[in-house]
Structure 1
């Protein structure tokens, strides 16, 4: 109710501001949004879709520990966590493999991106980011498969040459400490510029200790999620140890390293050559939720952790203006190498199971942009080749004995080839109307073989799929007046099943096992957006409302399944109920979002956003909840900015997720929620940045001021308690 009153207050304030037509030169205006994607016009206002941007100024001021926290604290999307070293963004009720992640325009999504929860976004260092664009709704026409709920395009900093008015030597050194997990982080970047070439070097180090949860009772629910015990192996024996501080989430800490090197060269003929090398690595990352699973012995698992998560990306880019048919050209050749591993051991069982996945991705994309007097044409082609090697073994931590075990994915050859072409046209065909239309067509081939099925015999030894894919979009922006934009858009999206969907054998916990299903078809969505933007003459406030309805066709859902006509099988020595990924007919996702921002007085800006999502699987008999649907959520805040610095106070809030709205035995993780579902919560936060020297900035803040104990929906770890942080940044 308090949130509704706040929105009403802002709306009334906005209406009153709309009567003010005078403008002065000594007041602040809302910044114009500039998009970083090469496949859309730079000006957000001409696009009929909902897009939110987090710029460099916001990234630096917010001073978050990783990219997942940066996204979740924006208030415009939800982020799930199964461990401290993770973060799985949800856009309009779609998550993981149904949300496309891009780094500098290159796909991160690969053939083992799962439908559950992913932590890959944290491998992109927030200190490297120049801009983050969040595209809402199906964006397969622009970016390809997996963009069912939306796309997150993360653009890193550029190597700048002297012609961009950059000093020969420039850079940044920064450091940060956070009390809630005793974080110790450091970062530097160094740019060396010459007249026609430049080099940018960047490195970051993060040391995160065990995360401390809030100690104060959430007024919306009871105490929940304390860590009274944990497991240690003492004298070759697993022992249940009492935690000296039940609010410290023991065995949740990790370290991470990030490196980036860029070179830029501009020839006399106008060709620009860019090399972009990124590498991210971590220590072992404990899977915290699995370490808290209860059993008759106290805890089910003695060890459960992800091995070092490695991400290597290398891109060679060639750009030239006015090349083919007078179009601007950009060609990207990219290589990615990703290594992930899972390691787990039951309490009292000293055989540690190790499963490793190594993915190689090769890609080429050609993007062209032709600009007319009142329109833009974007077109191009892209091709991705991916292969996977899946291996597994167990080792006895006491005797050293090594044995082969079943792999997570088929242990033969696994590869996937995607070939797409796209076109998008944006035109201002009248003073009040802007039109957008686009289409994409592609062909995907997937091959997977099982070279050894002795661990779990299957009725097939290989899976082969060929899918013709297509999508389209059409939208209109109508300006009935200078202060109002009306937007409508119809778009389709698709996601081709990958190795994780088709061929995974995976124990999901709680007596369930997921088995392969070779008959899956691509998922498809059709979405209608209706939006309205109201803004003042003096550019000092804006309200944006968006309503959407998505029809989800052939949705892949994990549900009960008969394997060889049996509903249960013996797996890992115990009887488990059989589940499998299946195309469960149709579902829908609908909702709306409201974003308000403006100035109450000069230099004092307010912001407020509210997001609501509803998802249901439909059948002739009934409607059942769709998973990954967060409760309502948003952010309210005030920001005061002067030359000497910035002060921001804000509230993050989430509604309750009742148990009857959970998709049981799926990815909503009802086993990690209190009885009755996840309670509502809100946190109060204060952040500051002060210019202490001409090129030095001091950052100080308090997050979760009331030290509230809470957990984000579908997460398996409690959120941070009161966090006092401090940081220092020096630019040279």
Structure 2
């Protein structure tokens, strides 16, 4: 308790918020109140005038911290806590929720699909950080703006796009990065061409990660390393003064990604994801006719593809398993921006997504090969239809937001689905969950320095194919299908305050979220399969999460800046009279940055309190130590130099070589390590 108190005092004493700076002394990726954001309202707006809690992370691959992956970069965002089941994963928590209860978007397109797993998952790590321009994190809202899954909030990834130039211009960049003890070798090459009406860009990333080396007593955590290859391409063309066409495609491929805790704790000879593939492609037509009813419009056609292979074998078991899940997704969206008058505007649109799943399992025993039912029902389909209208009002010192969204799903699960070994086959299943949700918020500018706001929003998550159709080994349990689920829903209330002075910027947010019809796993009697207890998802619980987030930034001198944040969440399952599962502990970060014209140096302190409030599911989880996850604190140092054509960055992580684990993770964090990065620009 004493250590926790010291950590809180250290965080707040700096009177500041997160350090996410780039090498350029003229720029900062810190979420200043003057930044422009789009995710909260579907329209560009100053962050200070947005009545929601939203943070911005600029170019995560170029951060001074040199975060290894997209989810590890998100760990530096106020109010975001990242769990890592394995070194190739990373699951961000927003307002105590994660996995398929948090929505990920890429350039306005849903990244989530029907098989995104319940609880922590690895999917955010399938977004190449080098392709990202910025990430906007909308906390406690998003179902009205973007649809199902946004119960905890929205992580909106906006990829890089070259600007048009008056004269034909070429740009090229080469980046290399290494981490001591062979933990990382990364290479990135990109090129771009732009002219008055046309631009194109392309990039390729090569990554090799060795086994993760933990702190002073952990040492090498083997197996945990893996390989990754990524590419991205984007083209934009100005068809006329009012029309623009954008075509984009990106892909991440990871191979031989181990689940360390399965090998270490569950007597597996091996358990790995291979391959993990995620591709997102779209074509978007932007039209700006300038009319009152249709001031702007956009039309998007999209295609997504994911593939996840799993291979595993337990020591002493003659059965070798090879599972493969593929999801092909197509969709189309249309949105219209209306400007009725100087104080009333609106965004309205329709969306359609369709996910088709192919799932298989091959069991090999000696020379015998058996084709079995996969983790999901093969050829299952989820169709997702929605329509929404978001209205924005601005009058004198007041800003107001209000919106509605209707969402309808059709989940089609084919027949011949074996629920448990030895049981009869089932008939085809079709479920059609639907939801109508709304939001409303109000902001008041007390004066140019002080702003207060309040917001209310409904959230929901329609049950996906992972909820209803899963059959097989998941984490430390064996899961069976559940076909009677309905959408889980929540209500979010938030109050916020922002201050923007000449030197000090600060914000404070207080929130309460109530969840109804919570989908959770429950033990099914005393059944067990393959030595694992049998679980099934149910839909009959209520819970709440409350908490606060406080952040500030203080410009001590022209070159010296201090920053800090602290976040706290308390979750309770009302039905079971126990804590909610995996609620993050109180956590925060403080830093002191000296930034000159071409170089910088920074000291950083990151910490988390102990989490000893455990649900029964936490106590049963072999990834969580008995009695809870201990508190930890890290000290890091960063330095960099920016010349006209190249930059150099050095980061010394975990200077004290502390052993630590973020709550709920299946692997310990990195011990003392030096990261060196070099970029060359043409």
TM-score band w.r.t. shorter chain: over 0.9
- CA shift, 1:672, in A, is 2.0
Larger displacement relative to structure 2 (69-78 or 140-149)? 69-78
Report the Cα distance in structure 2 between the residues aligned to 1:695 and 1:669, rounded to whole angstroms. Answer: 54
- CA shift, 1:168, in A, is 1.2
Q: 1:36 to 1:456 in 2, by over 3 A?
A: farther
Determine the structure 2 residue equivalent to 1:647. Answer: 601
- CA shift, 1:323, in A, is 5.9
8 Å CA contact 1:331, 1:364 repeated in 2: yes
8 Å CA contact 1:27, 1:602 repeated in 2: no
Determine the structure 2 residue equivalent to 1:596. Answer: 552
TM-score when scaled to structure 1? 0.87
TM-score when scaled to structure 2? 0.93
Determine the structure 1 residue equivalent to 2:37. Answer: 35
8 Å CA contact 1:75, 1:652 repeated in 2: no
Determine the structure 1 residue equivalent to 2:448. Answer: 482
Q: How does 1:104-503 map to 2 (within 5 A)?
A: 104-163=107-166, 168-215=169-216, 226=218, 247-294=219-266, 300-322=267-289, 325-371=293-339, 372-396=341-365, 399-411=366-378, 413-430=379-396, 432-451=397-416, 453=418, 455-457=421-423, 460-503=426-469
**Per-residue CA shift, 1:605-643, capped at 9, x if unaligned?**
111111111111113xx6211113111111111122111
Report the Cα distance in structure 2 between the residues aligned to 1:506 and 1:203, rounded to whole angstroms. Answer: 36
Q: How does 1:2-81 map to 2 (within 5 A)?
A: 2-6=6-10, 9-10=13-14, 32-37=34-39, 39-56=42-59, 59-81=62-84
Gaps spanning 5+ residues in structure 2: where? 18-25
**Per-residue CA shift, 1:353-393, capped at 9, x if unaligned?**
01111101111111222344234311111110111011110
Gaps spanning 5+ residues in structure 1: where? 15-25, 217-225, 227-246, 295-299, 562-566
Helix, strand or coil at the partner of 1:677: coil
8 Å CA contact 1:214, 1:707 repeated in 2: yes
Larger displacement relative to structure 2 (480-489 or 323-332)? 323-332
Q: 1:86 to 1:535 in 2, by over 3 A?
A: same
Q: 1:591 to 1:458 in 2, by over 3 A?
A: farther
Q: 2:507 aligns with which of 531, 534, 544?
A: 544
Helix, strand or coil at the partner of 2:45: coil
Report the Cα distance in structure 1 between the residues aligned to 2:678 and 2:14, rounded to whole angstroms. Answer: 34
Determine the structure 1 residue equivalent to 2:568. Answer: 612
Helix, strand or coil at the partner of 1:309: strand
Helix, strand or coil at the partner of 2:288: strand
Report the Cα distance in structure 2 between the residues aligned to 1:193 and 1:715, rounded to whole angstroms. Answer: 44
Matched, 1:527 2:492: yes
From the CA coordinates, give the structure whose radius of gyration is larger. Answer: 1
Helix, strand or coil at the partner of 1:2: helix
Helix, strand or coil at the partner of 1:678: coil
Report the Cα distance in structure 1 between the residues aligned to 2:64 and 2:421, rounded to whole angstroms. Answer: 52
Q: 1:673 aligns with which of 624, 628, 631?
A: 624
Matched, 1:701 2:651: yes
**Per-residue CA shift, 1:239-268, capped at 9, x if unaligned?**
xxxxxxxx1011111010110111111123
8 Å CA contact 2:253, 2:276 repeated in 1: yes
In the alignment of these two chains, the number of paired residues is: 664
Helix, strand or coil at the partner of 2:100: helix
RMSD of Structure 2 on Structure 1 (CA): 2.2
- CA shift, 1:571, in A, is 2.4
- CA shift, 1:499, in A, is 0.8
Helix, strand or coil at the partner of 2:37: coil
